[in-house]
Amino acid sequence: MTRARVPRPHEVQAAHHDPRLMRARMERPDNDSWRVRGRCRTVDPETFFPPPTEPADVAVSLCRRCPVQGACLAAALDAGDGNGVWGATTPRERRAMLVAWRNDPVPVGASAKG
Ligand code: SF4
């Protein structure tokens, strides 16, 4: 296992403006009902946990077409989940997003969709 390095300031700054993180802020759920709508429910779970040396393109592509992508990423960031692909992000991408997420919290259920 390799040790995850701390994200650099410019990576955290970029994460603040990442459209995936912005969507997660807009769609942060206040319950787990989004889980039943995930596209991954009909896909082998291993697809979303590729070995660190393997590309995650297939999983990320599936996530990008998922209707609950924002809620999924918000849940992963709330949980601090460092494994697998969630909300079209890899663990490496989420490290910087996690710092941005924690530095700029959004209330649970503060969805712009009402
Ligand atoms: S965004 Fe990806 S991991 Fe999350 S529910 Fe959708 S398909 Fe599954």
| pLDDT tens per residue across span 12-67 | 999 999 999 999 999 999 999 999 999 999 999 999 999 989 999 999 999 999 99
* 8 Cα–ligand 1 center, Å: 27
Question: Whose CA is closest to atom 2 on ligand 1?
Answer: 63
**Residue 66 in contact with ligand 1 by CB distance below 6 A:** yes
**Residue 75 in contact with ligand 1 by CB distance below 6 A:** no
For residues 71 and 88, the answer to whether their CB atoms sit within 8 Å is: no
The pTM is what? 0.89
**Residue 24 in contact with ligand 1 by CB distance below 6 A:** no
| Alpha carbon distances (Å) from 28 to 10, 22, 49, 103 | 24, 10, 23, 16
Query: How far apart are the C-alpha atoms of 89 and 77, rounded to whole Å?
Result: 11
- pLDDT of 5 reads 81
**Residue 77 in contact with ligand 1 by CB distance below 6 A:** no
